[in-house]
Structure 1
Amino acid sequence: MNHSHSQRRQFLRTALGLATVGPILPATAWAQADYPRHPIRILIGTPPGDTVDGWTRQLVVGLSASLGQPVIVENKAGAHGMIVGNAAKVADKDGYTLLVSTGGPMSINPSVYGSKLTYDPVKDFVPIGPFTKGALYLYCNNDVPVTNLKEMVAYVKARPGKVSYGSGGTGTTQHLSMEILKKATGIEMVHVPYKGSPMVLQDVIGGQIPFAFDAGGSLLPQVRSGKVRVLAVSTPTRSSLTPEIPTLVEQGVPGFDTRVWAGLFAPAGTPQAIVDRLNKDLNQAIQAPKFVELLRVGAAEPWSGSSKDMSDFLKADIERWRVVVREANVKPE
Structure 2
Amino acid sequence: MSKFMPSRRAAHKTMLCLAASAAALCLAPAATASPWPDHPIQMVVPFPPGSSPDTLARLIADPLSKALEQPVIVENKPGAGGNIGTRYASKAKPDGYTILLTINGPMVTAPTLYKKTLGYDPTTDLAPITLVGTSPNVLIVPADSPAKSVQDFVAMAKAKPNTLNYGTVGPGSSSHLSMAMLEHQAGISMQQIPYSGFPQVVSAIITGDIQASFMVPGLAVPQISAGKVRALAITSLQPSELLPGIPTMASQGYPGFEAISWDAMFAPGGTPEDIVDRLNQAITQILADPSVKQKMAALYFSAAPSSPDQLTDLMNKDKARWGAVIDRLHLSLD
TM-score category of the 2 structures, normalised to the smaller one: 0.7 to 0.9
**One-letter amino acid of the structure 1 residue matched with residue 305 of structure 2:** S
Question: SS of the residue aligned with 2:323?
Answer: helix
**One-letter amino acid of the structure 1 residue matched with residue 81 of structure 2:** H
1:201 Cα deviation after fit: 4.1
1:142 Cα deviation after fit: 3.7
1:183 Cα deviation after fit: 1.6
Question: SS of the residue aligned with 1:107?
Answer: helix
Aligned counterpart, 1:21: 26
Question: SS of the residue aligned with 1:260?
Answer: strand
Aligned counterpart, 1:128: 129
1:286 Cα deviation after fit: 0.9
Cα deviations by residue, 1:77-115 (Å, 9 ceiling, x for unpaired): 222332112211111212222111222111112222223
Aligned counterpart, 1:46: 47
1:49 Cα deviation after fit: 3.2
Question: SS of the residue aligned with 2:252?
Answer: coil
Structure 2 residue 224 is the aligned partner of structure 1 residue 223: yes
Change (3 A) 1:11 1:216: farther
Q: Aligned partners of 1:135 and 1:108: how far apart in 2? A: 17
Percent identity over paired residues? 35
CA contact 1:113–1:332 (8 Å) conserved in 2: yes
Change (3 A) 1:186 1:16: same
Question: SS of the residue aligned with 2:251?
Answer: coil
Aligned counterpart, 1:97: 98
Question: SS of the residue aligned with 2:121?
Answer: coil
**One-letter amino acid of the structure 2 residue matched with residue 264 of structure 1:** M
CA contact 1:62–1:288 (8 Å) conserved in 2: no
Change (3 A) 1:48 1:193: farther
**One-letter amino acid of the structure 2 residue matched with residue 289 of structure 1:** P
CA contact 1:50–1:198 (8 Å) conserved in 2: no
Change (3 A) 1:62 1:24: closer
1:194 Cα deviation after fit: 4.4
Which stretch has the larger CA shift, 84-93 or 63-72? 63-72
CA contact 1:165–1:212 (8 Å) conserved in 2: yes
Cα deviations by residue, 1:98-143 (Å, 9 ceiling, x for unpaired): 1112221111122222233221110110011111122111123445
Aligned counterpart, 2:5: none
Q: Aligned partners of 1:323 and 1:150: how far apart in 2? A: 24
1:247 Cα deviation after fit: 1.5
Q: Aligned partners of 2:20 and 2:170: how far apart in 1? A: 63
Aligned counterpart, 1:176: 177
Which stretch has the larger CA shift, 222-231 or 270-279? 222-231
Q: Aligned partners of 1:301 and 1:247: how far apart in 2? A: 17
Cα deviations by residue, 1:166-217 (Å, 9 ceiling, x for unpaired): 3333323332111111222233223234455455445545665543222334
Change (3 A) 1:315 1:252: closer
Alignment length (residue pairs): 326
Aligned counterpart, 1:250: 251
CA contact 1:134–1:300 (8 Å) conserved in 2: yes
Which stretch has the larger CA shift, 178-187 or 315-324? 315-324
Q: Aligned partners of 1:162 and 1:261: how far apart in 2? A: 32
Question: SS of the residue aligned with 2:48?
Answer: coil
CA contact 2:112–2:332 (8 Å) conserved in 1: no
1:231 Cα deviation after fit: 1.6
Which stretch has the larger CA shift, 220-229 or 183-192? 220-229
CA contact 2:112–2:326 (8 Å) conserved in 1: yes
Change (3 A) 1:224 1:71: farther
Higher Cα radius of gyration? 2
Question: SS of the residue aligned with 2:250?
Answer: coil
Q: Aligned partners of 1:202 and 1:272: how far apart in 2? A: 47
Change (3 A) 1:188 1:36: same
CA contact 1:50–1:197 (8 Å) conserved in 2: no
**One-letter amino acid of the structure 2 residue matched with residue 85 of structure 1:** T
Aligned counterpart, 2:71: 70
Structure 2 residue 308 is the aligned partner of structure 1 residue 307: yes
Question: SS of the residue aligned with 1:264?
Answer: strand
**One-letter amino acid of the structure 1 residue matched with residue 71 of structure 2:** P
Aligned counterpart, 1:277: 278
Change (3 A) 1:191 1:68: farther
1:158 Cα deviation after fit: 5.4
Structure 2 residue 165 is the aligned partner of structure 1 residue 164: yes
Aligned counterpart, 1:187: 188
Change (3 A) 1:7 1:128: farther
Aligned counterpart, 1:37: 38
Point out where structure 1 has 5 or more consecutive residues left out of the alignment. Answer: none
CA contact 1:132–1:262 (8 Å) conserved in 2: yes
Q: Given the two structures, how large is their TM-score scaled by the length of structure 1?
A: 0.84
Change (3 A) 1:271 1:205: farther
